Structure 1
Amino acid sequence: MQNNYLQLALNKVGQTYNDRDSGRFVSQQLIHAKMPVNDGTRWSAEPEKLIEQMDHLLGVLQATPGDILFWGTQTKPYEVGIYVGGSHFIAVHRQTNQVRIQTLSKNWYPSIAGSVI
């Protein structure tokens, strides 16, 4: 089930996304994949609410493909992406508005990962 929304996201690589907000991109993939929300609501596009909707949080090193990555703190995340594996994630690139597979680096490393199942 987890790979369903990851595959939906991967199918969008290269597409221009009207909204630079990666939170909205991630939530739309979860919604389109019909992933249930543990609080019974709809997946939020706001990183602060999206992190609260995770089934459980884990360290980034424990992330597996399909887990959601968050940049910032647990109470103030400001960016979100879907972990692809092998130090890569998929999100809307802020400068180009394109859905891209991006590389984790020392300068751009998430602080928290979350699992939706």
Structure 2
Amino acid sequence: MAGKWLDVALTQLGKSYHSSGAFVAFVMNTSKIETNAQNSQWSPTLNDLVQEVPDLKKIENARPGDLLFWGKLSHPYSVGIYIGGSHFISVTEKDAVVKVQVLNDNWCPEFVGSVF
């Protein structure tokens, strides 16, 4: 299941989104990943995305396909999709374009959400 999700995410490289939440919601909805919430579509709002993920855990336990969240559980400010090997795909803060990025100590996510 994560493979299809990641394939959809990778087809978005170089495209612009108004937010990281909008990008992740597009990938989730296009991949037909079921949400934990009562509605049938994933929300682009980060606070809603956190509520829609059934399994939250620490970054050390991230697996490819997991959602990486930056910020507090009650107020996340960015989200990306972990692709493995310390890499993730998300909308860049600087230019709002989908790119593969590298996790580092200066900008490491606070928690991870898994839907698998």
So what's the TM-score if we normalise by structure 2? 0.93
So what's the TM-score if we normalise by structure 1? 0.93
Q: Percent identity?
A: 39
Counterpart in the other structure of 2:78: 79
RMSD after superposition:
1.1
Unaligned ranges ≥5, structure 1: none
> What is the CA–CA distance in structure 2 between the aligned matches of 1:77 and 1:3, rounded to whole Å?
25
User: How many pairs does the alignment contain?
Assistant: 115
- 2:37·2:51 contact (CA, 8 Å) conserved in 1? no
Q: Deviations over 1:27-46 (max 9, x none)?
A: 11000001111223120111
Counterpart in the other structure of 1:34: 32
Q: Deviations over 1:33-73 (max 9, x none)?
A: 01111223120111111011101101111000000000001
> What is the CA–CA distance in structure 1 between the aligned matches of 2:17 and 2:86, rounded to whole Å?
26
Unaligned ranges ≥5, structure 2: none
Q: 1:62 to 1:99 in 2, by over 3 A?
A: same
Counterpart in the other structure of 2:13: 13
How many angstroms does 1:97 deviate by? 2.3
